[in-house]
Structure 1
């Protein structure tokens, strides 16, 4: 049975393309409907290009949608249209019994120019691209009134051929010069895309039949969210989503790399290294990137050492060449934390803002000011250990010893700094006053496993296994469910997040707490299998919240279902 999905929550797109088709709600002057979009420019641009309508006898007709990875079908009472994204920049349409109207509006200088009887160029300034519209069968009726410097709107109506009642056309996206190419037939294009997707699906991490529904969805989301190397992107990049989170963030990419490393190690390496390609001289990594720019106002936590060690344990593909490529960039990223994020010079790095931690609005960031949090020290311990491992493999024995010594010093300082009265708690930089709230972030050091004293492990496990505090029916809540600050849809104040589940589950298993690790993995996978690959989830109800086509959720689901639920 062919996998299908609802474009109201999951866009129709394909590997290697910025083009996508989405259902958008009404917003400002934009009416509700199905739109051909481009996700260039990240989530700060509208991305909406053409509204797609079906017509019969010149009038709009309502339709329903049915999507598979290779074909989107728009079904009306008068006929239907089918759409396939043939390659990274070409969309094919074929309609039977109905016409197709594409409407572009909103750009300051948008215009349409006829090139031949069957071809029009549409220049979309808002989206910073051009589109070539070519009719293969039927006619183009263009409504694009010119006023001074632009067309007030562009409406391209593709009318069926009178003899066959069919219209077929292509839309090509380009930025500079259009080059004429031969097109496959519509059916050939669909077959090629279907075969390409099936090869991806077959290589997706396998799991038990109980998790098959989620595996199909996660496979499609991860495949369709890859965009090409272009502009600021030095490598192919798996975006977080092609809904609204149309960027890559500098810890999200780690989980996508991990899920790919066994089946597609070269692409996994691209995901891992892409931020290091744009690393600042200081060692800082940008917060997020897209094809147009990077944001440097914030950053994300240093989980890269943990990620790389995890990947190295699961593939022989990462060899000397890759280790030499990553060693110095990873070292600079690590030193940045010690050099640039320790305002009180106590040897314990800090987060200046919640966004720097990835836990944007966690209760430890409830008040203004830099925060020293135990999770950051735990990540740095693992990162230093990974650097020691790489240095050893590269024959840099002196540097390996230095990194190992820094890992131990960081662990010692973490315990001296945060372990008080039988618990780990984040503190304010400088004053070291303990911060309020009951955030799960304080319990992330369980990823250190047996490096921790037994009494620390026992305290963390007691809290993590408490079903009145953090262990919800669906995984680990990010704020204690008994906390006065708990919010069911409070972002990092309660909901479940896939990366936290992955970090904790892996740490629990490696620390020997395999039963708790399996429980958490099973609960999360059961929830996502039922409710989709959302950005986050209501901890108690399991409802998917916000964006429901998220790649890091998909990647974590695939890894947990493949490796951890049976632990």
Structure 2
């Protein structure tokens, strides 16, 4: 597996460090992703003998860059033994070794950022921008630090590692208050690299996929592993970020797919994706929209798929069905469900969205005429979740709860069919006027398929026919019908193919007994991701990746569907 740092950050499990080529600066950067996606991540620009633009002809003529899961190495093209190499030995540490060339690190800083010299070869960099500290150890006689002082800080900070005569090394440790004692010990660069390599090989032992998709499997494994951050601040558990490109938070529905992606081999990590949101669950019952180490956002929320997602975890590992886990999850998801029933119910007896982001389909065409919107997907999700809660309540010996969830699900199903189904298809309605949303041809309107077990057979047949004829293309399920006036191949949720929609519909087809359709969609999705990488979403006509090209829920869904296809192969 080779990693292109123009698209996929070089990082590791637990680390807030990432190394990327940033096109807006035309430069390679050591980055820090504390503070989430609203906080600039640039820490140090890496300049190799005056050049930092790896896309330039001059860089290409002079250097070769190779990146694996455990090592980023930039070698001189004419003399490969001369190089700059970076590793991430632990979640808190970055190390650089320079041999046969000179490398400069230029800090991208704000006013109060400052570099304090602690000894002849150690410094502390206090980053106000990132609200964290970095301890720098310089191992080499040809390392120069240029950090002039002016009143309240250093106007510029540059570190030059001149390895032309002897190898030079730099170690950067990250911490919040004081340097932990365990960080002070230091093995050789080569020994540290081997330990990271060994750690990653252990991680790679995950669920198998068909041989044809092995390239995608390797990439998906790396993207998930490298996008994990350790618990800091608001993050009470190890958290799988969506990406370390710019989606540097954990969102409350993305977390569900990533939990499913790691559940079979890493159940504690999977459970942690739920725990981090339970730790910040509002007294109303709603989960935050997203969380990073410094901030928790409640401006929006996400659709109630958490019960369905957790039931998927229970199907793959007994850990999730243990009372210690199930009791906690039941209470939390019950409270989350009650949020919708208490605070988001319309006069029609159906729940509504106050923002497109609440649905997860941020700019879907059902929101183009204004908000709030009463949407059939939301009712479908809630009915499914209440049915699941009813089963869990029975399993936990809470019979009164079980009956209540059953009654509520029955009532909501009746209202869904009465208000949002016209005898031919589901629609969305304006919360304010009650009128149908016109000119919307969103796949979102077909999501009541998740409760096919509650719907009339004739309705399910029409719904499936609509999905296949209007939304299935050569690469899978597109999110807006091609004949819609809102359709765009790069329109986010107005046409592109997405991981969560692909998996939710795959599972709905599978559970409704339409196994051939489920298999076909799984094959299309796996082929798409295997060929075009783990993109945030995909062009429905060409398959090319759109937006962020190193996305974790895409990787998780690829592994889930790939494993399903492998199980079919094995009979």
State if a TM-score over 0.5 links the two structures: yes
1:98-497 equivalence runs, <5 A: 98-160=101-163, 162=165, 165-179=166-180, 181-202=184-205, 204-318=206-320, 319-342=322-345, 344-436=346-438, 437-466=440-469, 469-497=470-498
Paired residues in the alignment total 553
1:32-43 equivalence runs, <5 A: 32-43=26-37
CA RMSD of aligned residues (A): 1.6
Aligned equivalents of 2:414, 2:515: Cα separation in 1: 26
Aligned equivalents of 2:258, 2:380: Cα separation in 1: 21
Secondary structure of residue in 2 paired with 1:116:
coil
Aligned equivalents of 1:558, 1:366: Cα separation in 2: 34
Aligned equivalents of 1:516, 1:121: Cα separation in 2: 58
Q: Deviations over 1:190-211 (max 9, x none)?
A: 1111111111101x22111011
Aligned equivalents of 2:490, 2:9: Cα separation in 1: 23
Secondary structure of residue in 1 paired with 2:118:
strand
Aligned equivalents of 1:384, 1:179: Cα separation in 2: 47
> Paired residue for 2:100?
97
Secondary structure of residue in 2 paired with 1:313:
helix
| TM-score of the superposed pair, with normalisation by structure 2 | 0.94
Shift of residue 239, structure 1, vs aligned partner: 0.3
CA contact (8 A) 1:522 1:565 kept: no
CA contact (8 A) 1:142 1:155 kept: yes
CA separation of 1:161 and 1:465: change in aligned 2, threshold 3 A: closer
Matched, 1:81 2:81: no
| TM-score of the superposed pair, with normalisation by structure 1 | 0.95
Q: Deviations over 1:329-385 (max 9, x none)?
A: 11110010011111x332200001111101111110002221111111111111111
Q: Deviations over 1:139-187 (max 9, x none)?
A: 321111222211111001122273xx21122111122112451111111
CA contact (8 A) 1:229 1:236 kept: yes
Shift of residue 56, structure 1, vs aligned partner: 8.6
CA contact (8 A) 1:495 1:537 kept: yes
CA contact (8 A) 1:338 1:347 kept: no
Structure 2: gaps of 5 or more residues: 52-57
Aligned equivalents of 2:389, 2:423: Cα separation in 1: 33
Secondary structure of residue in 2 paired with 1:282:
coil
Q: Deviations over 1:234-284 (max 9, x none)?
A: 100000000000001100000011111111111111112221111000101
> Paired residue for 1:65?
65
Secondary structure of residue in 1 paired with 2:385:
helix
CA contact (8 A) 2:497 2:540 kept: yes
Secondary structure of residue in 2 paired with 1:420:
coil
Range with greater deviation from structure 2 (12-21 or 138-147): 138-147
Secondary structure of residue in 1 paired with 2:363:
coil
Aligned equivalents of 1:354, 1:189: Cα separation in 2: 46
CA contact (8 A) 1:43 1:247 kept: yes
Secondary structure of residue in 2 paired with 1:187:
helix
CA contact (8 A) 2:98 2:162 kept: no
Aligned equivalents of 1:451, 1:259: Cα separation in 2: 28
CA contact (8 A) 2:249 2:290 kept: yes
Secondary structure of residue in 2 paired with 1:419:
coil
Aligned equivalents of 2:554, 2:71: Cα separation in 1: 24
Shift of residue 230, structure 1, vs aligned partner: 0.8
Name segments (4+ residues, structure 1) moved above 3 Å: 60-64, 564-567
Shift of residue 431, structure 1, vs aligned partner: 2.7
CA contact (8 A) 1:85 1:91 kept: yes
Aligned equivalents of 2:483, 2:565: Cα separation in 1: 28
Aligned equivalents of 1:124, 1:403: Cα separation in 2: 50
> Paired residue for 2:563?
562
Matched, 1:17 2:11: no
> Paired residue for 1:522?
523
Q: Deviations over 1:107-131 (max 9, x none)?
A: 1112222222222222222222222
Shift of residue 433, structure 1, vs aligned partner: 1.1
CA contact (8 A) 2:242 2:552 kept: yes
CA contact (8 A) 2:471 2:482 kept: yes
